[in-house]
Amino acid sequence: MTPLTLTPGHATLADLARIYFDQVPVRLNPACRPAVDAAAAAIAAAAAGTEPVYGVNTGFGKLASLRIAPADTATLQRNLIRSHCCGVGAPISRAHARLMMALKLLSLGRGASGVRWQVIALIEGMLAQGVTPLIPAQGSVGASGDLAPLAHMAAVMIGEGEAEMGGTVMPGAQALAAAGLAPITLGPKEGLALINGTQFSTAFALAGLFGGWRAAEAALVTSALSTDAIMGSTAPLLPEIHALRGHRGQIEAAAAMRALLEGSEIRESHREGDARVQDPYCIRCQPQVTGAAMDVLRMAAHTLETEANAATDNPLVLTDAGRIVSGGNFHAEPVGFAADMIALALAEIGAIAQRRVALMVDPVLNHDLPPFLTPNPGLNSGYMIAEVTTAALMSENKHIAMPCVTDSTPTSANQEDHVSMAAHGARRLGPMLENLNRILGVELLCAAQGVGFRAPLATSAPLARVVARTREDVPALADDRTLAPELEVAARLVASGAIAAAAGVALPRLAP
């Protein structure tokens, strides 16, 4: 696979999505090397000098006042990695780990970290050869960098720790040797440069963002299908309504839904003589809710794209100024805020989708569809408990969506006395996405079933394609059967983007 060349400071969301979804190898644009070399030379000079420079010839954190002899530089950096390998819990996925490594490349490539080019080359080699460090999921509070998880990455680089290669977990040194790579002896500050930074939190937040946008696209499709299933009105989708408010996401969501419903015989059949004056909010206000969630995701995307291109370790080498300065770019507060924003968007997309499911199974509200969407109610329960499952998932997501970034606690003998909690704020997006995709999967099955009951009236061509794609994997429900496997299949169709793709309609884009 041809490597993706990244230019530090200019990587795009599309680049990062390719790394996450396609797991493409990555290398840095060689044009960034002079800046990297200049910063490394500045660190080498500082290490040989007499002035104390944090992390170069001093201890770390609360021990920063202790001087380290030049002869002990390599030991200092190695001990830093070993002592910080304190992660616990299950290892993170290969996709998350590789994205984290690529983000570390981008940070080091800014030429402010002071590492030698061979550190960058080793990460590039590991990505190219499929050497993925085994990184426990828990242990970072998202300040002073994602120290524990990044230390587990760095451990493999020095020939320690564990790595996965070709589906097999093995000692880090063995994995490097199998890939034809050699471990490095860390120079001044290099261990600190590797473990200081927000790359773990940012990788998980980006994964949540990318999955969340796919879910938002799918929600536009399933919501349009649900609208046709309950014979909802398309009047609330008129462009004039949304132009008067002006929000981009709302305007684009309404436009997408109009395109999805265009040409529906079901819709045309009740334009006249429908006694209903207004639909419930879960039908009428879909652009206002899903569109707002899309706008929130875009706000988070801006933050995360900026963070992905940032130098976030400490201290930083200001080459032009001839200074090495301690700062706080490792504090993941921006990532924590972005993760909380994404969580809110996921929870709300799921909340309104769940109400559409509830609407479709309710014979009082679903405009003459059979109870629980079964052709033989009473003897059969249809989608009764599938709706209950969506209620459970919706409620779980609402609880998980509570802000994490406001929950600080002091660490490291009060030296690091305010932290972002961005790491688990971003990690929780994965379970939230699984819940959301299952809610949307149930909506897909219910809406397809509901539209089927409207025959011989046909839905629109785009939505008919969605139903046909769904029926390739999940047949219509007649007599009761075990639904759990089908709910998982439907969730996978949503998560993969297959449902949005089947519609064949232009949907809103995450990037401008």
Give tens-digit pLDDT for 329-367: 999 999 999 999 999 999 999 999 999 999 999 999 999
- 54 an active-site residue? yes
Under 8 Å CB-to-CB from 138, ≥6 apart: which residues? 87, 88, 89, 424
H or E segment at 443? Answer: helix 429-452
Tens of pLDDT, residues 368-407: 999 999 999 999 999 999 999 999 999 999 999 999 999 9
Q: How far is CA 235 from CA 91, 239, 271, 316, 479, in A?
A: 49, 9, 10, 57, 36
Identify the CA nearest to 453 among candidates 229, 299, 147.
229
Beta bridge partners of 26: 4
The CA-atom distances, in angstroms, between 407 and each of 337, 415, 442 are 12, 17, 34
> Which residue has better confidence, 271 or 234?
234
Q: Which two tokens stand for residue 164?
A: 């996965």
Cross-strand partners of 323: 318
3-state secondary structure of 93: coil
Is the predicted pLDDT of residue 512 greater than 70, yes or no? no
What is the per-residue pLDDT for 400? Answer: 96
pLDDT tens readout for residues 132-174: 999 999 999 988 889 999 999 999 999 999 999 999 999 999 9
Average pLDDT, the chain: 95
Q: Does 19 have pLDDT greater than 70? A: yes
**Region of poorest pLDDT, from 47-61, 191-205, 398-412, 496-510:** 47-61
Does residue 418 contact residue 405 with C-beta atoms inside 8 Å?
no
Query: pTM for this one?
Result: 0.96
Tell me, what DSSP letter sits at residue 247?
-
Q: How confident is the model at residue 66 (pLDDT cuts 50, 70, 90)?
A: confident
CA atoms within 13 A on the CB side of 512: 4
Contacts of 368 (CB under 8 A, 6+ apart): none
pLDDT reading at 260 higher than 90: yes
Angle at 298 between CA 296 and CA 304, to 5 degrees: 110
For the residues of 444-504, what is the DSSP string, one character each? Answer: HHHHHHHHHTTTTS---HHHHHHHHHHHHHSPPP-S----HHHHHHHHHHHHHTHHHHHHT
Q: How far apart are CA 203 and CA 284, in angstroms?
A: 36
Share of the chain above pLDDT 90, in %: 88
Euclidean distance between CA atoms 269 and 284, whole angstroms: 19
The Cα-based distances of 250 to 261, 379, 420, 507 in angstroms read: 17, 42, 31, 12
Q: Alpha carbon of 454 to those of 386, 462, 465: distances in Å?
A: 21, 16, 16
User: How confident is the model at residue 67, as a pLDDT?
Assistant: 82
Choose, from 20, 54, 281, 383, the residue flagged as catalytic.
54
